[in-house]
Amino acid sequence: MSSDHRAALGLYRAYFLEPAAFFYVLVAVVTTPRRASLILAGFGLALTALAIPNIEVTLKAAQNHTLNVAGTPPVAIYTVSNAVALFEVPVIVVAAAVMLYGTTWFERAIGAFIVGLGTLSVLLTFSRGAYLALFVVAIVLALTHRLRILLLVLVVVVIAAALRLPGVTKRIAQELNLSDPRNSLFPRFQLWGVTMRMLAHRPIFGSGLSGFASAINPYRNGYAELQIYPHNILLNFWTETGLLGLVAFGWLMVKTVIATLAGWLHGSSGWRPYQLGVLLFVVAVLAHGLVDVPFFKNDLSLQFWAFLGLAAAATRWDPALKPAGAPTPLRYKGNDERGRPDHR
């Protein structure tokens, strides 16, 4: 249980209550693929506002020969570049599915813009966890397409081009060398060890929301870094919400995968890109979450529940997913199933 009940209550409201309320709002109002595309466009605007200043400061640092990718990369918005990547990667992966499978030029254009700008921005954050998430998602997305061989070759070409960027190559090499003092994996291993020692004494309730930093103090055993989360998605939920919260998160992920996979395989053409996008979002969260914290932050928790809301809305409103004989959901007057004027 958290040692600071006031802080824990505030985080509970910010990470669960308010975003979950937004989830239900989206399920109620996103009744057509057109409306789903507007939600994606909104996240695209947020990504643009975040990406452009961060790209600018990184390129200026490179131009002035002050860019040090072995240390902390420059950042214009947020305090660390990892936070930029954590927000942008989920938007990119949903947009990638819409870019590839969208049924209107508007959707494909939004998707292509987000993928292009977002990928450049993520590359310049030099976030190794983000690189891993994008790599895994790119492979999965390519395998869904009938031109999978061509797309896999394209993925390899893009990766080869990215590796020619000196900063990217240096950052990855640094991560593969455990003896490098700037390597972040070894400190992660230490942090996870500290976390497991703490959880051995608090296996049911964990440290509670806002309680991790103080809860691990008796178990540091030489570990000096100040962290407020264990930087692993399983340990994050176990420490913050206890075993029950971890099980609930696992159940939510499984249900989302089952629902989005069914929507992708059996849904109507307008909704299928969004179902696949949210499925890829889950893949990205789990991949990125191996070494980072892709949920416990105000913007990330809202984004998490918003994308799950898109999938739930698709499942609710897609007539192709309704059992035979089930009543067709009411649409807003004046619009057809894609949100276009209905003149019938």
| Per-residue pLDDT tens over the stretch 74-120 | 899 898 999 999 999 999 999 999 999 999 999 999 999 999 999 99
pLDDT of amino acid 175:
76
pLDDT of residue 72: 80
In a domain, 275, yes or no: yes
The pLDDT of residue 335 is 54
Tell which wins on pLDDT, 341 or 41.
41
Of 296, 279, 335, 308, give the one whose Cα is nearest residue 27.
308
Residue 341 covered by a domain: no
Average pLDDT over every residue of 241-256: 97
In a domain, 16, yes or no: no
Residue 111 lies in a domain: yes
pLDDT in the model for residue 329? 54
What pLDDT is stored for residue 68 in this prediction?
80
Q: Is the pLDDT of residue 29 over 80?
A: yes
Residue 112 domain-assigned (yes or no): yes
Residue 313 lies in a domain: yes
Mean pLDDT of 256-261: 98
- Radius of gyration in angstroms for the set of CA atoms belonging to the chain, rounded to a whole number: 21
Could you tell me the two tokens for 108?
């494909």
Residue pair 331/45 in contact (Cβ under 8 Å)? The answer is no
The set of residues, in sequence order, having a beta carbon less than 8 Å from that of 323 and lying 6+ positions away, is none
Percent of the chain with pLDDT over 90: 75
Count of structural domains within the chain: 1
**Residue 339 counted as domain residue:** no
Residue 32: closest CA among 269, 314, 294? 314
In this structure, is residue 233 part of a structural domain? yes
Under the banding of pLDDT at 50, 70 and 90, the label for residue 344 is very low
Q: Are 67 and 61 in contact (CB under 8 A)?
A: yes
- The domain of 310 spans 32-321
Res. 331 pLDDT band, cuts 50 70 90: low
Comparing 220-234, 262-276, 320-334, which segment has the lowest mean pLDDT? 320-334
Lowest-pLDDT range of 4-8, 78-82, 225-229: 4-8
